[in-house]
Chain A
Amino acid sequence: MQLNDLYKEIILDHYQSPHNRGRPPHADIEAEGSNPLCGDDVEIFVLFDGDRVKEVRFDGSGCAISLAAASMMSEVLEGKSKAEVREIGDLFKAMMHGEDVDLPEEMEDLEALKGVANFPLRVKCALLAWTTLEHGMANENVGGRVSIEVD
């Protein structure tokens, strides 16, 4: 168990200088996710341009892993179709559960989180943003803000 597997430089960069952090004035999807056991909270906002993601923004408070994962997610999803978003989400989840996955080249940042799989207690941190997004997309037709609690 190596600490460097967890706190890679790129993860710390995303944590300390997050990308796409903040609340947009309007969003097509607004979802909040929390891990009540840790006290981590994340809000995900998605703006679509037709079927494609125009912008993902996030806000919240949490540990380095959960916020870095949200920041990375917001970057890699830009321009993706809804089907692609689901696909990438599934790949990421599989990676977090220790499976060997081939991530598309432009998503190698995400690969930095691979080491989290060796820290079972932290996997939920890395998945919080993704699970929240997934929940938001599943309820897109319902409209309004959705929230989910994960353990």
Chain B
Amino acid sequence: MENGVSDEVGYDVRAVRQDFPILGIQVHGKPLVYLDNAATSQKPQVVIDSLVHYYTRYNANVHRGIYTLSEQATAAYENARARVARFINAPSPECIIFTRNTTEAINLVRYAWGADNVRAGDEILISEMEHHSNLVPWQLLAQEQGAELRFLRVNNEGRLMLDGLDVLITEKTRLIAVTHVSNVLGTINPVKGIIKKAHKYGALVLLDAAQSVPHMPVDVQELDCDFLAFSGHKMMGPTGVGVLYAKPHLLEAMRPFMGGGSMIRKVMLAESTWADVPQKFEAGTPNIADVIALGAAVDYLSDLGMANVREHEIQITQYALDQMREVSGIKLFGPWELQTRAGVVSFVLDGVHPHDIAQILDSEAVAVRAGHHCCQPLMRRFNVPATARASFYAYTTEEEIDALLEGIHKAQRVFGHAIERSV
């Protein structure tokens, strides 16, 4: 591989980059190196065009107007639902509920499923590596219902300690809520095995797929997960739209989430009946433009091929890890085995706080995240207040990794470290 051109057949990272206008901009007079994809991704022109097209050509409310524009908007909105369903191999479009983001999708499950299915004395199993969005809702539910939270721990390598699973799952376990891919460690969790075991005990499984669906092929029927949540903005789509997938019989049995227009069938003064799934869970005017643009993002990713995206990220992550491990005074987090690791690299440097790393990298136009990454328990587990994190995507090049490394060396220079480069 040279000059950042990937050697996978049919995958040309340079051509991919051409589709993203923002990747051509400069920051502080230097070309942007965007390595914060775990926080949010950049958008290809087709997604931006989709938004503009909707607002300039057929902006209208959905599911109500008997006129051409509304029909067009409704068709495009429902078409996006069908494409998202296909993208994760959901059995039907009706299993796809549009929310604001992953957080709202998880909270939907907490309210619409949790309130009726988790009782006093029941147990919810979550892991130590959860993002706060897949932790706090279950703390709240457990408190409300008098249920108990139990925890899957993380080992030094950054993997879930699944030896304890047999002890942790009991007949009282109602739900296992676990992340598919860690947003800090990059660990790809062996969720299929967890799901199988959970189902043996009659427990359901919710997957936080915010870091998996954008980066690798995900098949909800093959995984057999009960709920799966992800965000549009992390997969080249716009902000403000998230997705909840749930098995059809669960959605049928669940109570509504929010009340209002669109989610009703018949409304009387004292009571109402509910619309069919999925409308039952989408009260009020939905985020029409962004849902349609998410459909465009899904098409774009499908054209790239999720297996190609994953393969590219494996190569870029390998390239990054190979160089980063040679930096003196660096500590890297997460598994080394690339087949079960996503393109996320958290690190700390001796004598340079993560915020200072990020600040100095910014002066080189390299955008990384520094902080606790909404994973305070995981930070405690690894005994660090914060880490710096570089996260990659389909458009990340080897030159960008080189720029990251240059920036890391600059940070060490600013803080007066000896520079030892053995690469």
Q: Which residues on A are within 8 Å of B, measured CB to CB?
A: 1, 3, 6-7, 12, 16, 37-41, 61-65, 119, 122, 125
Contacts and interface: CB of A to CB of B under 8 A. Distances in A.
Contacts of B360: 3, 7
30 contacts: A1-B28, A1-B363, A3-B363, A3-B414, A6-B359, A7-B356, A7-B415, A12-B414, A12-B416, A16-B415, A16-B416, A37-B371, A38-B355, A38-B371, A38-B386, A39-B371, A39-B372, A39-B379, A40-B385, A41-B385, A61-B385, A62-B385, A63-B354, A63-B355, A64-B352, A64-B353, A64-B415, A119-B359, A122-B355, A125-B355
A86 B385 CA distance: 30
Contacts of A62: 353, 385
Nearest to B414: A7
A26 B351 CA distance: 29
Contacts of A64: 352-353, 356, 415
Interface of B: 28, 351-356, 359-360, 363, 371-372, 376, 379, 385-386, 414-416
Given A12-B416, A37-B371, A65-B355, 15 more contacts: A1-B28, A3-B359, A3-B360, A3-B363, A3-B414, A7-B415, A12-B414, A16-B415, A16-B416, A38-B386, A39-B376, A41-B385, A61-B385, A62-B385, A64-B352
A12 B415 contact: yes
Nearest to B415: A12
Nearest to A61: B385
Shortest beta-carbon contacts, A-B, top 10 = A39-B385, A63-B353, A63-B355, A3-B363, A39-B386, A64-B356, A63-B356, A39-B372, A61-B385, A7-B414
Contacts of B414: 3, 7, 12
Contacts, number: 46
A78 to B, nearest CB: 26
A37 B376 CA distance: 10
B166 to A, nearest CB: 35
A17 B360 CA distance: 21
Contacts of B371: 37-39
A7 to B, nearest CB: 5
Contacts of B355: 38, 63, 65, 122, 125
